[in-house]
Amino acid sequence: MIYDVVITGGRIVTAKDDFVGEMGINGANIATLSDEVGRLSGRTTIDAENKLVMPGFLDLHVHFNDPGVTHREDFLTGSTAAAAGGVTLIADMPLANDPLTLDEQSFAAKRRAAAEKCVVDYRLWGGLIDDNVDNLEAMRACGAHGFKAFTCYAGDEFKFAGEQVLRAGFRETKRLDTFMGIHCEDEQLIRRFAEAAPKSSGLSHFLDSHRQEVETVATRNVIKLAVATGSRLHICHASLPEVVSMAREARDNGALISVETCPQYLLFTTEDLHRIGGPLKCTPPVRDRQAVDGLWDQLRDGLIDFIASDHSPATREEKSAELPFSEVWGGINGIQFLFQALYTEGVCTGRISLTKLVELYSAAPAAFSDLYPRRGTLEPGSEATFVIYDPKIPFEVTEQSLLTKNRQSPYIGKVFQGRVDETWIRGRLIGSYARDGFKIMVEPGFGQFSGAIPEKR
């Protein structure tokens, strides 16, 4: 038998397996795997010797700002950076775009924008604000990934949900067999700490008003509501081991709770924030060394469900040191480097295994999205959606290496071990590393909508 494509000699790593071998691909799917090398023949053969071959990554928390806020990012630039990071599916958040994704029409508008430009596959979140709970059903019918809500200020338009609205949202998402993903910071506490804090330095004032209690109190409150309504809750971007522990404790008691963290909480501390400033501003903020070490331990021990970038870019001006820190945009430009960063700081240092990292960024988010084992692993019958990573080459992040629309990021200056060589989706090479950087090889719009519609699975 001659396969369309054979990937040979690579180290094939999934959440369950790690072996040197080869993979035969026919059309969009994986046909066979072998732990011997030189057995399969293909019309095209890719030599992956000394490289890692892994299932494509899924990043379930990104803000690509399209439509309407495309001076920050759009579906083409965002998905190009994603592909360069080995990401083959993203889930785009319902805010930081215009119109906000709060009803059927705005959901359809975003879907059109993505269909035109996205080079990787995509899911779309809907939003829950103070007055749109009646719109959730229609967005769910359109295939919404889940519904995002805030317990704190999230812009004048994205009016955050109070307790009554959250409770209604939980009841509705349960009825619709979906879930809520919540940004957990308590608005009353933020305001109280902000008023009490000395106003001297903008950055210190920011940290004072986003203290740990802000996140832990909000987390405790939303867990209570999820438990009371028997609904599914996903805790977005946990920055503290205490938040992860609360989620696990509730789950051990039968609650339907999952939790993610992001690389910014694993790679940076408040000391780094004082050094880097604007490009590292995000909420919740980065924490101290103890919190960072605690999160790494929890990742290793399987207490965190998956990782996501919370990619939320801005222009250089919006991140500028010239601005008062309170006016700097909060959000990290980072989807391009999540795997490289955690491979370098987690796997190469021995903090977590490579199979664990692949689980956290591929198998687990695929399972969370009901896409496993079509996605998130490499086995016969799975989609030929995978990444070839060259772990030997040191990679320095420079402004020039950023493929996002705006060339600011807290990762600039970091040196990572290795880089993504090739990204494949459904048997097609969609991008590869050339002499002068990562190049996309498919047309804008190659990516497909991956709707969470039970009937269509």
Report the candidate in 308, 392, 296 with the shortest Cα–Cα distance to residue 350: 296
Q: Which is nearer to Zn ion, 264 or 385 (CB)?
A: 264
Pairing of strands 428-434, 437-440: antiparallel
Contact assessment for residue 163 and residue 221, using Cβ atoms and an 8 Å cutoff:
yes
User: Which part of the chain contacts Zn ion (CB under 5 A), choosing from 119-127, 289-297, 307-315, 376-384?
Assistant: 307-315
User: Which part of the chain contacts Zn ion (CB under 5 A), choosing from 109-117, 308-316, 383-391, 404-412?
Assistant: 308-316
Task: Kindly state the smallest distance separating residue 448's Cβ from Zn ion, in Å.
Answer: 23
Task: Kindly state the smallest distance separating residue 258's Cβ from Zn ion, in Å.
Answer: 16
Task: Kindly state the smallest distance separating residue 101's Cβ from Zn ion, in Å.
Answer: 13
User: Which part of the chain contacts Zn ion (CB under 5 A), choosing from 149-157, 212-220, 303-311, 403-411?
Assistant: 303-311
Q: Which is nearer to Zn ion, 40 or 149 (CB)?
A: 149
Question: What are the tokens at 118?
Answer: 């996205």
Is 260 a residue that touches Zn ion (CB under 5 A)?
A: no
Question: What are the tokens at 347?
Answer: 């796997």
Question: What are the tokens at 164?
Answer: 């009554």
Task: Kindly state the smallest distance separating residue 355's Cβ from Zn ion, in Å.
Answer: 27
Task: Kindly state the smallest distance separating residue 451's Cβ from Zn ion, in Å.
Answer: 21
Position 37, amino acid: V
Phi/psi of residue 66, nearest 5 degrees: -115, 130
Is 92 a residue that touches Zn ion (CB under 5 A)?
A: no
Query: At 243, is the secondary structure helix, strand, or coil?
Result: helix
Interface residues for Zn ion in 379-438 (CB under 5 A)?
none
Q: Which is nearer to Zn ion, 103 or 310 (CB)?
A: 310
User: Which part of the chain contacts Zn ion (CB under 5 A), choosing from 184-192, 304-312, 360-368, 439-447?
Assistant: 304-312
Report the candidate in 410, 362, 419 with the shortest Cα–Cα distance to residue 16: 362
Long-range contacts made by residues 199-207, C-beta under 8 angstroms, separation at least 24? 201/325, 202/324, 202/325, 202/326, 203/273, 203/274, 203/277, 203/325, 205/325, 205/326, 206/281, 206/285, 206/325, 206/326, 207/270, 207/273, 207/285
Site string for Zn ion, 32-51 (x = CB under 5 A): --------------------
Q: Which residue is nearest to Zn ion (CB)?
A: 310
Q: Which of 22, 305, 310, 345 binds Zn ion (CB under 5 A)?
A: 310
User: Which part of the chain contacts Zn ion (CB under 5 A), choosing from 111-119, 274-282, 310-318, 392-400?
Assistant: 310-318
* Full DSSP string of 184-198: ---HHHHHHHHHHS-
Residues near Zn ion (CB under 5 A) are 310
